[in-house]
Amino acid sequence: MANVGRYYVVREDILPEAIMKTVQAKEMLRRGEAATVHEATERIGLSRSAFYKYKDGVYELSELKRERIATISMDLEHRSGVLSKVLALVADLEGNVLTMNQSIPLQGYANVVISVDVSQLSGELNGLVDALRRQDGVRKAIVVGQG
């Protein structure tokens, strides 16, 4: 199971400079003021390694309202095409897979954990999970985290 972590609301003035600069770089990229991560980080005086360290862990509150991320754990049969059909189903329902982690198959099954942006999902998250459970080759599908 993936570690989904805990979330905090923190006042801007007490955050370390590198985190604030990461937010600024992300905003520059979103608005098109910088074409690349290299350009954005260079302009605000942040190392690219610091940007990549923090970029997936820091968001403005307004940005989190637009994105909803669900983490789904599944046990899939170890046979050709099962994972690709699961990913196609998520895409067909307008979900966007952000991350995926698969264990080595044991006793004919592999555990797969996916993080999905469900903000554009056609229907409810429960509908996606139900569809996954009905998918051929899926033994189990549960939501293990939601934000």
* Whether the predicted pLDDT of 5 surpasses 90: no
Q: What is the structure's pLDDT at 57?
A: 84
**CATH architecture of structural domain 67-146:** 2-Layer Sandwich (3.30)
CB 132 within 8 A of CB 89: yes
Q: What is the structure's pLDDT at 119?
A: 85
Instruction: Encode pLDDT of 7-53 as tens digits.
Output: 777 888 899 999 999 999 998 998 899 999 999 999 999 999 999 99
Nearest to 71 by CA among 15, 5, 19: 5
Domain spans, the chain: 12-65, 67-146
Task: Give dist(CA 110, CA 139) in Å, integer.
Answer: 10
* pTM of the complete model beyond 0.75: no
* Whether the predicted pLDDT of 134 surpasses 90: yes
Instruction: Encode pLDDT of 73-84 as tens digits.
Output: 999 999 999 999
Task: Give dist(CA 107, CA 28) in Å, integer.
Answer: 48
* Whether the predicted pLDDT of 125 surpasses 90: no
Helix (H, G, I), strand (E, B) or coil at 83: helix
Written as one letter, the residue type at 110 is A
